[in-house]
Amino acid sequence: MPPALTYASSGVDIDKKDAFTESLDTMLRRTHTERVIPNPGGFAGLFRLDYRARLFARNYKDPVLVACCDGVGTKVKLAADLKTFDTVGIDLVAMNVNDLIVQGAEPLFFLDYIATPVVDTAFLNDLVRGIADGCRKSGCALLGGETANMPDIYAKGDFDLAGFCVGVVELARVQKPTRVRVGDVVLGLASDGIHSNGYTLVRNVVKQAGLDLGKVYPELQPAANIKKRRGKKAPPADRTLGQVLLTPTRLYADPIVRLQRDYRVKNIISGMAHITGSGIGGNLCRALPPTLDAVVNTKSWPRPAVFSFLQQQGGIPEAEMWRVFNMGIGYCLIVRPTFAQSVAERLTKLGETVYEIGRIVKGKGEVVLE
């Protein structure tokens, strides 16, 4: 008679998964504020929208909930190859909160979904630590998530990530393309590299060009034209190709939310765009009405070395580079011209590197790259 079958012998260890879930409490609580309602043993997280705390209060007049869902894409394959997992946890948060703030919202809470063939606690702890760090830096609570143990779906060494974020904005401050006017200025916030888009092409370049992820390439090291951001250390020298490619997506939530709080009376931001897949051309146009264009001067900021390196190694056409990658600008704001300088100065003080990259003109709802 064959041995009795169990869930564990089939590849799913419930006890190990439950032990891992219980071990996450400390990491999650580091992201919690007074607005998170304790719910031990609950099947879902609880979050208070209006609140009154000892030192502050917040009540919304006409709140609109904003929600988004995203993943990290094939960057997880690179993380698996290099056995470095905390950075893609930050990526997961960034890809969600950076989308959410485009609507004028502030992030409230985040949940993650991790799919893996085995419950490897060291690997999972690294992932969740990165997710918790991203949430803490973005001002949102990590309420919980799901770890799916699926050996029949994922091969050994594979995994996948998805995240879900909810935020809130007052109805009167929801960002709409109809606010954009001729003469508005386009400000670009520097990216920290490739972020989390285009990695299928990146990995193909690495493969076809025979590049070594563990090698230090001189052309990828910090250059003189890369500005040191306030409150942030300059990129370390002697980073390997793998380390450069795994640089996490920059989190723009905190400075953008702080900026909007500075202008509670005057709504000086006409529109915003998170520059992800399809590049500046395919994302900034989403903030435009059908009668206006954004003319972007592509020489108004330095191109990070990683993009020139990949283009040269892969023989990638220039147009394809702009269609796939952020090319050094991770987030765009369209602002009234009279406030452009003050907005740029405020964001610089908040740690961003800001460039004036374009203007709004009459057109057809397109982005013109010059």
State whether 191 and 76 are in the same domain. no
Could you report the per-residue pLDDT of 197-210, keeping only the tens digit for each?
999 999 999 999 99
Query: Tell me, what's the pLDDT at 229?
Result: 47
- Beta-sheet strands, E only, within the chain: 36-37, 46-47, 51-52, 57-58, 63-71, 106-116, 141-149, 160-170, 185-190, 269-274, 292-296, 329-335, 354-362, 367-369
CB of 207 within 8 A of CB of 236?
no
pLDDT at 256 over 70: yes
pLDDT at 235 over 70: no
Query: Tell me, what's the pLDDT at 231?
Result: 46
State whether 199 and 344 are in the same domain. yes
155, part of any domain: yes
Question: Which CATH number is 351's domain given?
Answer: 3.90.650.10
Could you report the per-residue pLDDT of 153-187, keeping only the tens digit for each?
999 989 999 999 999 999 999 999 999 999 999 99
State whether 236 and 348 are in the same domain. yes
pLDDT at 219 over 50: yes
Could you report the per-residue pLDDT of 303-345, keeping only the tens digit for each?
999 999 999 999 999 999 999 999 999 999 999 999 999 999 9
Residue 244: which region, alpha, beta or left (left: phi > 0; alpha: psi -120 to 50)?
A: alpha
Please give the residue that has the higher pLDDT: either 52 or 319: 319
350, part of any domain: yes
CB hemisphere CA count around 348 (13 angstroms):
12
CB atoms within 10 A of CB 234: 10
Domain assignment of residue 211, given as a range: 177-369
Query: Tell me, what's the pLDDT at 1?
Result: 67
State whether 283 and 311 are in the same domain. yes
CB of 96 within 8 A of CB of 68?
yes
pLDDT at 228 over 60: no
Query: Tell me, what's the pLDDT at 54?
Result: 58
264, part of any domain: yes
Residue 330 phi/psi, 5-degree rounding, is -95, -15
State whether 189 and 279 are in the same domain. yes
Instruction: Return the ∠ at Cα 28 (arms to 24 and 31), rounded to 5°.
Output: 160
CB of 367 within 8 A of CB of 285?
yes
* Integer Rg of the chain from CA: 22
Q: How far apart are CA 184 and CA 271, in angstroms?
A: 10
pLDDT at 39 over 90: no
- Beta-sheet strands, E only, within 171-259: 185-190
State whether 139 and 197 are in the same domain. no
Domain closes at, from 152, 173, 194: 173
State whether 60 and 147 are in the same domain. yes
- Give Cα separations from 162 to 128, 159, 187 (angstroms): 12, 11, 30
Is residue 246 helix, strand or coil? Answer: coil
- How far is C-alpha 304 from the geometric centre of its chain's CA atoms? 18
- Beta-sheet strands, E only, within 101-140: 106-116
CB atoms within 10 A of CB 186: 29
Query: Tell me, what's the pLDDT at 330?
Result: 98
Please give the residue that has the higher pLDDT: either 118 or 50: 118
Is residue 187 helix, strand or coil? Answer: strand
4, part of any domain: no
Quick one: pLDDT band at residue 230, thresholds 50, 70, 90? very low
Domain closes at, from 138, 173, 208: 173
Question: Which CATH number is 167's domain given?
Answer: 3.30.1330.10
Quick one: pLDDT band at residue 225, thresholds 50, 70, 90? very low
Query: Tell me, what's the pLDDT at 347?
Result: 98
Query: Tell me, what's the pLDDT at 165?
Result: 97
Query: Tell me, what's the pLDDT at 234?
Result: 59
State whether 37 and 183 are in the same domain. no
Over residues 127-150, mean pLDDT: 95
State whether 139 and 264 are in the same domain. no
Domain closes at, from 158, 173, 188: 173
Query: Tell me, what's the pLDDT at 18?
Result: 80
314, part of any domain: yes
pLDDT at 353 over 80: yes
What are 333's strand-pairing partners? Answer: 187, 272
Could you report the per-residue pLDDT of 82-117, keeping only the tens digit for each?
999 999 999 999 999 999 999 999 999 999 999 999
Is residue 66 helix, strand or coil? Answer: strand
State whether 310 and 211 are in the same domain. yes
Number of domains in the chain: 2
State whether 29 and 108 are in the same domain. yes
Please give the residue that has the higher pLDDT: either 133 or 225: 133
Please give the residue that has the higher pLDDT: either 370 or 8: 370
Query: Tell me, what's the pLDDT at 111?
Result: 97
Across the chain, mean pLDDT equals 91
Instruction: Return the ∠ at Cα 186 (arms to 182 and 187), rounded to 5°.
Output: 155
206, part of any domain: yes
Could you report the per-residue pLDDT of 241-251, keeping only the tens digit for each?
999 999 999 99
% of the chain exceeding 70 in pLDDT: 94
pLDDT at 55 over 60: no
Quick one: pLDDT band at residue 5, thresholds 50, 70, 90? confident
State whether 280 and 135 are in the same domain. no
CB of 265 within 8 A of CB of 172?
no
Q: Residue ranges of the alpha helices (H) in 179-252?
A: 199-208, 241-245
Over residues 283-294, mean pLDDT: 97
Residues 6+ apart with CB under 8 A from 4: none
3, part of any domain: no
251, part of any domain: yes
